[in-house]
Structure 1
Amino acid sequence: MSAQKVLKLSDLKQDAAVRVVIDDIPIAVVLDSNGEVHAIGDTCTHGDISLSDGFVEGETLECWAHGSAFSLRTGRPLNLPAYEPVPVYEVTIDGDDILIDPHVTKEVN
């Protein structure tokens, strides 16, 4: 499987998340305050809530329902009640196009 075009960079707003679904895999695509695009699993591991409805602050995406913040770089929760990470996906920017392969996750330390 190869990366698929999911959005245009110009469709993203800074410090906001957009939900996309590729091959039935929900992904939150985020443009952080540094202008970097991230893609993480869109489902909170604590409450089965869409993370893209949450709040972006710095390099985190916070679940609106229970307040768990997830690192956009590692997918790890930074506070309770979530304790399981979400997947992090490689993002490729080609001109104005954002491409993601939902079957390839980043190796994070």
Structure 2
Amino acid sequence: MSLERVASLSDVPAGEVRVVMCGDRSLALCNVDGALYAIDNICTHDGGPLGEGRLRGDRILCPRHGAAFDARTGRVLTLPAVKSVRSYPVTVDGDDVSVDGEAGQLP
């Protein structure tokens, strides 16, 4: 496991999403009901920045065409995207939020 600190817990309030860097990976860090999840920040439909989209419950919507992904797993939920994105393990220690950028997996 290769954890990298990417944010402070206070940086990502419940119901919000932030773009963070983990090594050379751009990730969308999502706070779903107080639990943090990290997924790739690139929509599989046309490369839109998921971290700039809206978080609706456990769904993140791409700001370009509205494709929805499960923010917890990266699973694609609606068209126009047809491929899922990778999710990454998140660890919280006090106010430090870390991600294992080498352990991404598809749902």
TM-score interval for Structure 1 and Structure 2 normalised by the shorter chain: over 0.9
Aligned counterparts of 1:91 and 1:28: Cα–Cα separation in 2: 12
Q: Unmatched 5+ residue regions in structure 2? A: none
CA deviation after TM superposition for structure 1 residue 14, in Å: 2.1
Runs of 4 or more off by more than 4 Å in structure 1?
none
Aligned partners of 2:28 and 2:51 also within 8 Å: yes
Normalization by structure 1: what TM-score? 0.92
Matches within 5 A, 1:1-109: 2-32=2-32, 34-106=33-105, 108=107
Q: Unmatched 5+ residue regions in structure 1? A: none
Amino acid at match of 1:73: R
Q: Deviations over 1:35-62 (max 9, x none)?
A: 1111000000001111011000111110
CA deviation after TM superposition for structure 1 residue 13, in Å: 2.2
Aligned partners of 1:90 and 1:106 also within 8 Å: no
Aligned counterparts of 1:106 and 1:95: Cα–Cα separation in 2: 26
Q: How many residues align?
A: 107
SS of the equivalent of 1:105 reads coil
Q: Deviations over 1:50-108 (max 9, x none)?
A: 10110001111100110101001221111100001110000000011000011112464
Aligned counterparts of 1:59 and 1:50: Cα–Cα separation in 2: 17
Aligned counterparts of 2:27 and 2:49: Cα–Cα separation in 1: 9
Aligned counterparts of 2:71 and 2:36: Cα–Cα separation in 1: 9
Aligned partners of 2:86 and 2:106 also within 8 Å: no
CA RMSD, 1 decimal: 1.3
